Amino acid sequence: MPAIHFQNVCVEGFAHTLPEEVVTSEEIESRLEPLYERLKLPEGRLELISGVRERRFWPPGTPPSEKSIESGRRVVEQAGIDPGEIGVLIHGSVCRDFLEPATACRVHQALGLPRECLVYDVSNACLGLLNGIVQVAGMIELGQIRAGLIVGTENSRNLVETTIERLNNDTSFTRNSVKPAFASLTIGSASAAVLMCDREISSAGHRLIGGVYRTNTDGCRLCQSEGLQEYMNTDSERLMRDGIAIAQETFGEFLAAAGWQRDTLHKTFCHQVGRAHHRLLFESLGLDQSIDFATYEWLGNTGSAALPVSASLGIEQGHLARGDHVGLLGIGSGINCLMLAAEW
C-alpha cells in the first residue's frame, strides 16, 4: 500500500465558520408529516437512527466562496503567516459557486493572495479538503512553495429541502425505497480552512508526518448525487460496512507509516457521519471513542468540511496537547480512505 512521508511540512492552523441557523431533526420530521403519515413512520426516527440532533444552514443564496473567504482569512490571520508566502490555494468542497471558473479563483481574489499563487478546485466527495492537504504538503516538501491554503464550504440547504419536497410529493415511496434518501436529511452546512507551511517558517511546529490511502471503487455507486446539491441516493448500511472495512485495511499501514502503535495514537479527528458509523469505526480499529472529537450530533454530516471543522473546534476547545500523536481519519464515498498523521 502506498505510504506518504513528509519531513518539512507543518500544519500551521485550522479555522472554521458555522451558520447561525439551526435546524433540528424534529423540525425536519415535522415538515415530512405527509410522508410519515402515509407510511406510518414513527416520530423521532431520524435522530434515533443517525444520532444527529441538529444541523445548520447558510442563508438562502449564500455562495460557498463567501464562507470559504471568511474561513481562509481567519486561519491566515490566526497563524500570522504573510499572505505573500502562500503559493497555492485549493478549494476542496463538494459545493462550489459554479462549474467554471474554479471557486478558488473568487477566494484568491478576495483574500488578495499573490498572482504567482497556483489556484484550483479539488472534488472528491468528503475527502476533498484532505486531498488538498496532501497536494499542498507535497509541494512544500518538494520546495515548490513555502505555504499553502486549503478551504471549502458545504451548503446543505438545497439538498435537504429538495429531498423533503421529493419525499412528500412522490407517493410511490415505500418504507423500503425511502431508506436511500434518509442520509441526505442528516447533511449540514459548514466551512473550514487549513494552512500548511514549511517547517522553517512555522511558528506552531505541528509537523505533518505522512499517511496512507486506499480505495475500493466497487462501491462507487453506493452514494450518488443526481445533480449538484439536488438529490442523493445512499445505501447507508452497505456504505458504512464497506467504508469501515477499507478503514480496517488502511489503519495498520497508517500506524506503520507514522511509526506508532495503537496505544500511542493519542487523539483523532474523523469524518462525521453519525452515531452508528462512529461507534463501529472505533470498535473495528480497536480504539477508544474518547480520543476523538465528535461533532455529528449538532453539526450533522458536513461533507468535506466535517473533519477539518471538527479539528478546528477540537483544538479551540483544548482537545489536543503539545506532543500528541494525531490521526486525521478520512473515509469518503467512492469508496476512498485517507489517513494522515501529525505530531502536535
CATH number of the structural domain 206-343: 3.40.47.10
Q: What is the pLDDT of residue 259?
A: 96
Q: Is the pLDDT of residue 257 over 70?
A: yes
Q: List pLDDT tens digits, range 137-155.
A: 999 999 999 999 999 999 9
DSSP H helices in 144-223? 157-169, 179-182
Beta carbons within 10 angstroms of residue 224's beta carbon: 13
- Residue 37 confidence class, pLDDT cut points 50, 70, 90: very high
- Mean pLDDT within 209-224: 87
Q: Is the pLDDT of residue 285 over 60?
A: yes
Q: What is the pLDDT of residue 223?
A: 77
The whole-model pTM stands at 0.95
CA distance 132 to 85: 17
- Mean pLDDT within 305-322: 98
Q: Is the pLDDT of residue 226 over 80?
A: no
Q: Is the pLDDT of residue 232 over 90?
A: no
CA dist list (Å): 204 to 46, 53, 197, 208: 41, 35, 10, 12
Q: List pLDDT tens digits, range 13-27.
A: 999 999 999 999 999
For the chain, how many helices (H) and strands (E)? Answer: 12, 14
β-sheet bridge partners, residue 54: 24
Are the C-beta atoms of residues 210 and 340 closer than 8 Å to each other? yes
Go through the chain and tell me how many residues it has: 344
Q: What is the pLDDT of residue 230?
A: 64
- Residue 233 confidence class, pLDDT cut points 50, 70, 90: confident
- Mean pLDDT within 104-125: 97
* Residues sharing a CB contact under 8 Å with residue 87, sequence separation 6 or more, in sequence order: 114, 116, 117, 118, 139, 144, 145, 146, 147, 148
Q: Is the pLDDT of residue 222 over 70?
A: no
Catalytic site positions: 100, 126
Grid cell locating 201: 517558517
